[in-house]
Amino acid sequence: MAISRQNDRRGIVIAAVIVICWTGLLLYLLTSFEVSFASPLTYLFILLQTHLYTGLFITAHDAMHAVVAPGKPKLNKAIGTVTAFLFAYNWYARLLPKHHQHHRHVATEQDPDYHRGSFWPWYFSFLKNYITWWQIVLMAITYNVLQLFFSLENVVLFWMLPAILATFQLFYFGTYLPHRGEHPEDNPHKSTTQSKNHVWAFISCYFFGYHYEHHDKPYLPWWQLYKAKG
């Protein structure tokens, strides 16, 4: 039996799973994991926590399209606010208009995500548009508080570093690769898409390498985006 869009709770459950996994793994890594640079587990956990950080932002992004809790705008906004805040204190209300501006004016001068240039200038332009001074202050305060209770090594490797790496993951796969270069006039979304490979598409950036498909069908949540890939 088909689930009506307004009664579809799958997005809420998936968002909860991401938040619980991110929180639970972070607590374990801060309190119980002994870092060894000779152990592959250390690097595996860094990558896994990075992926979960990216999942927080992707969830906030889906909330901007009202697809986390369809038909429940207050809950949808609450989930978006929480997941954005957990990702380095991003403020959902500030991100929301910028993201819709990106969709309306994709790859133009009015697009806050777009920059005519190579990777690094574009990346720093991207950060400048989205990072505020109060975020930096809150991150600095949190860093100094966490190191009072947990190993400095664990705080840096599993709280700070994955957040930084996740910005690269989101930018590279979700902005730079799909929007770089010139796009033909018959491409209304000025976006490319990665080759069909659902496993890599999920691992790389929660299917957002299928970026033309996202711009073409922004009503699809990340976990259904693969269905739009021909």
| pLDDT-above-90 percentage for the chain | 88
* 134-145 pLDDT tens trace: 999 999 999 999
166 CB-near residues (< 8 Å, 6+ apart) = 50, 51, 53, 54, 57, 87
* 178-213 pLDDT tens trace: 999 888 888 999 999 999 999 999 999 999 999 999
Given this model, what pLDDT does residue 2 score?
A: 44
Instruction: Provide the residue ranges of all domains of the chain, joining segments of one domain with +.
Output: 5-180+188-220
Residue-averaged pLDDT of the chain: 94
Spatial contact of 175 and 126, defined as CB atoms under 8 Å apart: yes
Note the helical H segments in 32-160.
Answer: 40-64, 73-86, 92-104, 119-130, 133-149, 152-155
Across the range 4-25, mean pLDDT stands at 90
Per-residue pLDDT band at 1 (split at 50, 70, 90): very low
Site of tokens 């690269």: 168
Per-residue 3-state assignment (H helix, E strand, C coil) for 124-181: HHHHHHHCCHHHHHHHHHHHHHHHHHCCHHHHHHHHHHHHHHHHHHHHHHHHHHHHCC
